[in-house]
């Protein structure tokens, strides 16, 4: 228990004397010599460790004998220069152990460099192999034509670009079946989805009109349905039912009007085409109508087929429509004044 009591005591640092200063200066000189000569470092390090070891043995012996006061005096008499030298010696020993790490790093770097060289050699050999395989394939063909081609001799199936077709080897086997007599292929047609018997009315091509004539009875059904809806509209008193009936009647009437307008435009195109055919036979250049001209001519035909009062109603509606467009473009102040 004596060493524990000794360590727990408060130790007062002794006053620095001339001898201590000499020890510190000696320690500095020792450090300078250690940088210059490593062999001297080892010898001094061994002597210092022996001195410290002897001092520790003396202290232990005194502790065992119960001489606490002498141990305290000896500890207090150790100079700071000697402690600094011992600390530097221990740090040097640790640095010597860490010198082995750079050697291992050098070995790993050399191995990585070697692996990198091997990979580069393999990549270069793969680039040279296609050329060698082509030349080898030609020599094999000249020497033995019956020998089966190896995988390396076959041309690559990859394309040179995405627009080029894939290459096919000439040794690819084809079927031995041959078509001697050609039979007409059976084609199943559906007139609902086939555009052969007629052209749509939206195009400039002349329609045959066979399908429109065959299904013309549908227009009669729509007209009779509109008349029935108008009768139901007059009889109903509920506002909601009247509103739904009015919307349905308007949509069906607009559908019939659009169909009639397309028929008029198509009639204008067909009539103009007949005229141009005669002019072409005479040696003149054909003139193709623009969409605006087709609509204007169709509108003229529409007004020709109307009566006086009906024509006035249509003109009034168009006038109101144009005036509303002009009012939308006006500023708000001018709109209110008008």
74 in Cβ contact with 59 (< 8 Å):
yes
Cβ atoms of residues 311 and 303 within 8 Å? yes
Regions of the chain where pLDDT drops below 50: 1, 22-46, 53, 57-64, 131-132, 137-149, 151-152, 198, 200-207
Mark 35-52 as b/e (b = at least 16 C-beta within 10 Å): eeeeeebeebbeebeeeb
| Among 94, 65, 49, 68, CA closest to 7 | 68
Residue 307's pLDDT is 81
Residue 140's contacts (CB-CB under 8 Å, 6 or more residues apart) are 147, 149, 153
pLDDT score recorded for residue 222: 93
pLDDT of residue 35: 42
32-87 per-position pLDDT tens digit: 444 444 444 444 444 555 555 455 544 444 444 555 567 677 777 777 778 888 88
Report angle CA 302, 307, 312 to the nearest 5 degrees: 85
- Strand (E) or helix (H) holding 262: helix 239-281
pLDDT computed for residue 314 by the predictor: 84
pLDDT of residue 250: 94
CA–CA separation, 286 and 291 (whole Å): 16
Q: What pLDDT was estimated at residue 242?
A: 92
pLDDT given at position 97:
56
Q: Which of 27, 11, 10 is nearest to 19 (CA)?
A: 27
Handedness of CA 19, 20, 24, 30 (dihedral sign): positive
Q: In whole angstroms, give the CA distance from residue 51 to residue 39.
A: 19
Is-contact 154 169, C-beta < 8 A?
yes
């Amino acid at each position: 228990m004596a060493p524990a009591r000794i360590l727990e005591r408060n130790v007062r640092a002794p006053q620095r004397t001339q001898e201590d200063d000499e020890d510190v200066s000696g320690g500095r000189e020792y450090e300078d010599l250690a940088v210059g000569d490593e062999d001297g470092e080892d010898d001094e390090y061994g002597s210092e460790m022996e001195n410290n070891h002897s001092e520790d043995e003396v202290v232990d012996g005194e502790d065992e004998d119960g001489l606490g006061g002498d141990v305290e005096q000896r500890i207090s008499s150790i100079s700071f220069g000697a402690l600094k030298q011992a600390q530097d010696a221990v740090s040097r020993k640790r640095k010597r152990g860490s010198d082995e790490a750079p050697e291992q790093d050098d070995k790993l770097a050399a191995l990585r460099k070697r692996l990198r060289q091997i990979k580069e050699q393999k990549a270069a050999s793969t680039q040279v192999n296609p050329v060698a395989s082509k030349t080898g394939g030609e020599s094999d063909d000249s020497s033995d034509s019956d020998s089966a081609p190896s995988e390396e001799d076959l041309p690559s199936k990859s394309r040179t670009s995405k627009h080029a077709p894939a290459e096919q080897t000439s040794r690819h086997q084809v079927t031995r079946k041959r078509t001697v007599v050609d039979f007409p292929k059976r084609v199943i047609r559906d007139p609902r989805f086939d555009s052969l018997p007629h052209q749509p009315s939206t195009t400039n091509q002349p329609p045959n009109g066979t399908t429109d004539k065959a299904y013309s009875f549908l227009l009669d059904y729509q007209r009779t349905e509109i008349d029935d809806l108008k009768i139901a509209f007059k009889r109903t008193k509920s506002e909601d039912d009247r509103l739904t009936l009015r919307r349905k009647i308007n949509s069906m009437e607009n559908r019939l009007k659009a169909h009639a307008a397309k028929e008029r435009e198509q009639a204008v195109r067909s009539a103009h085409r007949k005229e141009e055919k005669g002019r072409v036979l005479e040696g003149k250049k054909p003139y193709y109508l623009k969409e605006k001209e087709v609509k204007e001519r169709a509108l003229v035909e529409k007004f020709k087929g109307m009566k006086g009062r009906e024509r006035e109603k249509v003109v009034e509606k168009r006038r109101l429509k144009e005036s509303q467009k002009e009012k939308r473009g006006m500023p708000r102040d001018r709109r209110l004044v008008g």
